[in-house]
């Protein structure tokens, strides 16, 4: 119950307005890719094209090496779970999960036995006889996932299925996806606008905006080696310093910083994640930059700090715990060489 997936050069227009532009994406068998982007970026359209609910104007979808053009949605070997569970209210939980097997002609008893197996996988053993109206939101989504898995799809598509749940339930659902990947090993494509969810669940992140694929890579690459300034912004990066590279030195409003490795000369924006910025005591020899704290904000177990360096550069840091800093404090700013990333232009 797993297969590779390839989307090659997909284009889609609705009413003359382009929704997808020559978009290509590869998802390896048994892996999980999160498609991340703001509202209206085309994320759900990609899933609907993969599932066969929309026909692309150009390009193709290949599942397990087979071009599925013209193959009806119900025969593509794809399971799709939406933001709303869309369960059948007239059926109990067991028969909701058994639905696909019954449609395929499996005898009722066998279909129900199989449904109990998948309910166990989503940690709902013993819930088969309950009515849909008796379930919580998180339980409904577990049933929806069990129903999708019971059809034994080659690819499981998740269209923001956890966005309506509270934080604790979302964490439970993320752990459930981990368990399912260990037990069943499905190929998963998850659509989300939440970068934390994407990094928690997926192996790779595909960043999409205005129907275009801006970046695709590992979670670490999406955060610390984005392909463009826009991708860095969508991934929540807060430090970007436009400047020029010459002889291995980046010059910007931040000052002059030596770069690791061989950096080509020319215009480049220096990026560094706020989580990677270190703040210390001036004069301890650990940093070449110093600045003045202009803002502090505590959020849970972390503290966000803004530091003015020079006349025009504002460096953002995110520190674990209480930083013990006050506005007006002078601090040393450390940018670890391994955390510095350049994007050209």
For residue 174, name the pLDDT band (cuts at 50, 70, 90).
very high
Q: Among residues 288, 282, 284, 281, which one has the least CA distance to residue 259?
A: 288
CATH fourth-level superfamily of 237-344:
Nucleic acid-binding proteins (2.40.50.140)
How far is 54 from 118, CA to CA, in rounded Å? 28
Q: Which CATH class is domain 5-233?
A: alpha beta
Q: What is the side-by-side order of every strand in the sheet holding 58-63?
A: 17-27, 5-14, 58-63, 66-67
Average of per-residue pLDDT values in the chain = 93
User: Three-state SS for 97?
Assistant: helix
User: Three-state SS for 252?
Assistant: strand
The three-point CA angle 255-256-260 to 5° equals: 135
243: pLDDT strictly greater than 60: yes
97 versus 100: the higher-pLDDT residue is 97
Task: Find out whether 260 and 338 touch, Cβ atoms under 8 Å.
Answer: yes
DSSP E strands, 111-203: 155-159, 187-192
Q: Which residues pair with 148 in a beta bridge?
A: none
Spell 109-135 as b/e; 16+ CB within 10 A means b: eebbebbbebbebbebeebbeeebeeb
Question: What DSSP letter does each residue of 272-300 carry, written as one string?
Answer: --GGG-EEE-TTSSS-SEEEEEEEEEEET
Q: Which residues pair with 204 in a beta bridge?
A: 33, 218
**pLDDT of 201-238, one tens digit each?**
999 999 999 999 999 999 999 999 999 999 999 999 99
Confidence at residue 4, expressed as pLDDT on a 0 to 100 scale: 94
For residue 285, name the pLDDT band (cuts at 50, 70, 90).
low
For residue 321, name the pLDDT band (cuts at 50, 70, 90).
confident
For residue 320, name the pLDDT band (cuts at 50, 70, 90).
confident
Domain boundaries, the chain: 5-233, 237-344
Confidence at residue 286, expressed as pLDDT on a 0 to 100 scale: 56
Q: Is 184 exposed, middle or buried (0-12, 13-18, 19+ CB in 10 A)?
A: middle
Percentage of the chain modeled with pLDDT above 90? 81
Segment 48-63 shows an average pLDDT of: 96
Biggest CA pair distance of the chain: 77
Both tokens of residue 53? 């609910």
**pLDDT of 61-90, one tens digit each?**
999 999 999 999 989 999 999 988 999 999
How far is 299 from 146, CA to CA, in rounded Å? 36
Task: Find out whether 310 and 255 touch, Cβ atoms under 8 Å.
Answer: yes
- What's phi and psi for 41, nearest 5 deg? -85, -10
Segment 29-34 shows an average pLDDT of: 97
275 versus 288: the higher-pLDDT residue is 275
How far is 305 from 331, CA to CA, in rounded Å? 11
| Ranges 85-99, 120-134, 198-212, 319-333: which has the least confidence | 319-333
Task: Find out whether 80 and 149 touch, Cβ atoms under 8 Å.
Answer: no
Confidence at residue 312, expressed as pLDDT on a 0 to 100 scale: 86
Percentage of the chain modeled with pLDDT above 70? 98
Q: Which residue has the tokens 């577990």?
A: 142
**pLDDT of 286-312, one tens digit each?**
567 999 999 999 888 889 999 999 888
Segment 188-199 shows an average pLDDT of: 95
Confidence at residue 341, expressed as pLDDT on a 0 to 100 scale: 95
Q: Is 272 exposed, middle or buried (0-12, 13-18, 19+ CB in 10 A)?
A: buried
CA 278 to chain centre: 27
Both tokens of residue 126? 């013993």
Predicted TM-score (pTM) of this structure = 0.92
How far is 309 from 331, CA to CA, in rounded Å? 10
Confidence at residue 261, expressed as pLDDT on a 0 to 100 scale: 79
């Amino acid at each position: 119950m797993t297969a590779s997936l390839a989307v090659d050069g997909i284009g889609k227009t609705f009413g003359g307005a382009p929704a997808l532009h020559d978009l290509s994406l590869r998802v390896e068998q048994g892996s999980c890719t999160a498609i991340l982007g703001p509202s209206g970026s085309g994320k759900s359209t990609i899933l609907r094209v993969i599932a066969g609910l929309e026909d692309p104007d150009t390009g193709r979808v290949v599942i397990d090496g087979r071009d599925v053009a013209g193959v009806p949605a119900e025969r593509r070997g794809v399971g799709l779970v939406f933001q709303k569970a869309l369960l059948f209210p007239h059926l109990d939980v067991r028969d909701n999960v058994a639905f696909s097997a019954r449609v395929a002609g499996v005898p009722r008893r066998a279909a129900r036995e199989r449904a109990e197996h998948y309910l166990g996988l989503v940690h709902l053993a013993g819930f088969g006889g309950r009515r849909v109206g008796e379930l919580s939101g998180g339980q409904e989504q577990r049933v929806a996932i069990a129903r999708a898995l019971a059809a034994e799809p080659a690819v499981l598509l998740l269209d923001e299925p956890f966005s309506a749940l509270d934080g604790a339930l979302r964490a439970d659902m993320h752990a459930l996806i981990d368990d399912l990947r260990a037990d069943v090993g499905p190929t998963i494509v998850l659509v989300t606008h939440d970068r934390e969810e994407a990094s928690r669940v997926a192996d790779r992140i595909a960043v999409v905006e205005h129907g275009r694929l801006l970046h695709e890579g590992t979670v670490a690459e999406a955060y610390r080696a984005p392909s463009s300034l826009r991708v860095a912004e969508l991934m929540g990066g807060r430090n970007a310093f436009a400047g020029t590279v010459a002889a291995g030195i980046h010059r910007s409003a931040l000052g002059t910083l030596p770069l690791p490795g061989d950096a080509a000369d020319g215009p480049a924006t220096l990026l560094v994640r706020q989580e990677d910025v270190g703040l210390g005591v001036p004069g301890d020899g650990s940093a070449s930059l110093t600045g003045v704290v202009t803002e502090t904000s505590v959020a849970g177990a972390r503290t966000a700090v803004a530091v003015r360096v020079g006349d025009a550069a504002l460096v953002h840091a995110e520190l674990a715990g209480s930083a013990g800093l006050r506005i007006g404090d002078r601090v040393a700013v450390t940018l670890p060489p391994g955390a510095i990333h350049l994007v050209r232009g």
